[in-house]
Each structure stands twice: as C-alpha cells, then as structure tokens.
Amino acid sequence: MILASAVFTAIRAHLDDDNSGRYTVTDDLSPVVNAAINYLIAVFNAGFEQKKIYPESLRELVRVEIVPATGSGNTKRADVTSICENLWTILGVEPDAEATEGATTTTLAPEEFAGLRSKFAKRLTLEEWEEKNDDPFSPGTSQTIPSVFLRPAYLGPGRYFDADHDFIFIRPASLVTDNVGIWYLKNPTVVTSTASEIEFPQSLFQLLVDKALGYISLQHGNDSKYGQNVEKDLLQLIQIMGS
C-alpha cells in the first residue's frame, strides 16, 4: 500500500517548497492523484494486453468472491452485479467453488489449489462463444463427449437480457456446481484525504508521484517540464513489476 499523505508530501516538495499552502488536498492533490491512478490503470492494461505484466502482480487488488450459479440446460449463469460495480478485470472463473457459510472465499486449501477440482473456465468472446459451441474439442462445447475431456468456458460480464444485472454465462453446465468463484482485480479505492491508502505496491510510489505532477502541471501552462509518455511509462512499469 502507498500512503496518500506521503504522495501529497512528495508533490508539495516539488511544487511548493516554501509551504505556501496554495495546494489543498480536496481541490488540487486528490484530483491529480486519482487522475494518475487512472492513467497507471491504462498503462497496466497495455501491459496486460501485451502479456508483459500479469494482473496477479497487483496482489493488493486481488479479490475472490463466491456467487450462486443458476439456470437450466447446458448453460448456467452467475449474477456478478455487485462485483462489476468495482471491477477492473476478471482473473479467473472457478466453475465449482465451495462457499463456506457467511464467507466470500473458497474452502480450497493451498495444497489443493494445484488442480484437484475442475479447471478454471476459459474466457470467450461473444463470437467465439457461438462458434465454438459446435466444436467438440473447444472449451465450453455443447457437444456430447466423454466428461474427462470437457473444459469449461465463460462469457461476460454483460447485461444480457436484464438491464439491471450483470451476468457471466458458463458452459457446460455439467461442470458447474451451485457456486461459482470469481477471481478478479478490483479498481483502486478513490483517494479522498490524507488518510487514504492507494492499493498499489510501494515500488510504484515515484511513478505515481511523477504522473500526479504531470497532471497538476497542466495548471502551469505549456512551459511545464512535466509530461506523460505511455510507452516510456509502460517500459518503466514492466521493469518495476518484474524486479
């Protein structure tokens, strides 16, 4: 975790070394830090897309939630509305999670995680979902094949057939139990005060400060020395997360 107060102090050290108090947390510092967080999310997404950074490296933001699976036929669905309100990206869908009473984590012990249960579902696009349904060798197929060869797949999330709820769909239903485990990366909490914590690893402290400086310097006009460069930042991010 990164303390917002430490980021604010670092920004002020660059811009307000006479302690004039011209930069306030509410009007100046929190908005630019949140803008910098959103910018880094975009850079992370570029790294995820290129498979040069893995979402699991952001352990402060990794969550697991168990949701009920419903439906008939060969497809089941799970309501993930509560997750989507704060969803960055889904890491994995576990089709046969076991929910403990009153908890949102699986009962799967670390030594069992290696694969004693069904495989995680493969994510498909809407086009793949439709095309691969007829391929007996594809994840999520509806073809009748020996159960040992079945592999789950999921589609979503989206507001399919319901304007108020987000769902994922999972096939084949035979591999889905009463509960589905959603392993996901949540969006960082918005910074609102000096007491806020930023859910990024401490190694990203300076990069976050630099990006916040870049945004606040927009108030200083075109002559500001601070700027942004996605490719440069992505290379730096890859180096930081890989160290």
What are the structural domain ranges in the chain?
Answer: 2-54+200-242, 59-186
Mean pLDDT by 10 residues, the chain (243 residues): 94 75 86 93 90 89 91 90 91 80 46 54 88 72 70 90 91 88 93 95 93 79 51 77 65
Q: Which of 125, 69, 123 is nearest to 98 (CA)?
A: 69
Q: How far apart are CA 165 and CA 121, in angstroms?
A: 21
pTM score = 0.78
- Rounded to 10 degrees, the C-alpha dihedral 63/64/68/73 comes to 100
Confidence at residue 105, expressed as pLDDT on a 0 to 100 scale: 46
pLDDT at residue number 74: 87
pLDDT at 220: 54
Q: Which structure tokens are listed for 173?
A: 């239903």
Query: What pLDDT, on the 0 to 100 scale, is given for residue 111?
Result: 47
pLDDT score of 87? 93
Q: What is the pLDDT of residue 81?
A: 93
CA–CA separation, 100 and 80 (whole Å): 18
